[in-house]
Copies of this chain bind each other. A is one copy, B any other.
């Protein structure tokens, strides 16, 4: 398998964690999101993902290569193809709760605070640095406040009980991103605790942006 990603992309970071948890080897191919106007817009990458977003996972079946997009779809693909250790609980209801936590990050926080959106605000709308940071902080606090109260109900050592799930896989890259933008996390004791607990695990440590070959 080949994972097309970028060291600082939260979505690629999620897939790296999942690959590490399952101890699956994948060649890492760097798609630089800033240099050359963004390599994700190249013709070559367009063939892999017409959305011009990382990650894309290239895998093969009966000798034919194919490309998969969207980090959560890629992770569920890996989870179905290589079920051990699973990143979803067994019970249908529990699975829904974990997927919902993951989506509360992937659908409500990350899309608003990622690079292309911040670039649009600055370049197309002419917002200043303060407004940009207020925007970033607004959506992360809204999302983390809601998640924190769900964690009071459901968390154990990790977001859902004592096993690592898709929710942790989404949460850690989002916290990493928040720290980069100087978001104070003291209001979120469960989120902070889960950050610490996940960083006891090599799967998370080795997936961190600074550990990647394309980190600069």
Which residues does A use to contact B, with CB under 8 Å? 49-53, 59, 61, 66, 68-70, 72-74, 76-77, 80-81, 92-93, 95-97, 99-100, 103-104, 106-108, 110-112, 117, 120, 124-125, 127, 131, 134-135, 138, 143, 145-146, 149-150
Contacts and interface: CB of A to CB of B under 8 A. Distances in A.
Question: Mostly helix, strand, loop or mixed at chain A's interface?
Answer: helix
A127 B126 CA distance: 10
A108 B53 contact: yes
Nearest to A96: B77
A107 B59 CA distance: 23
Closest 8 CB pairs of A and B: A73-B99, A77-B96, A111-B111, A70-B100, A73-B100, A51-B146, A70-B103, A50-B146
Contacts of A53: 108
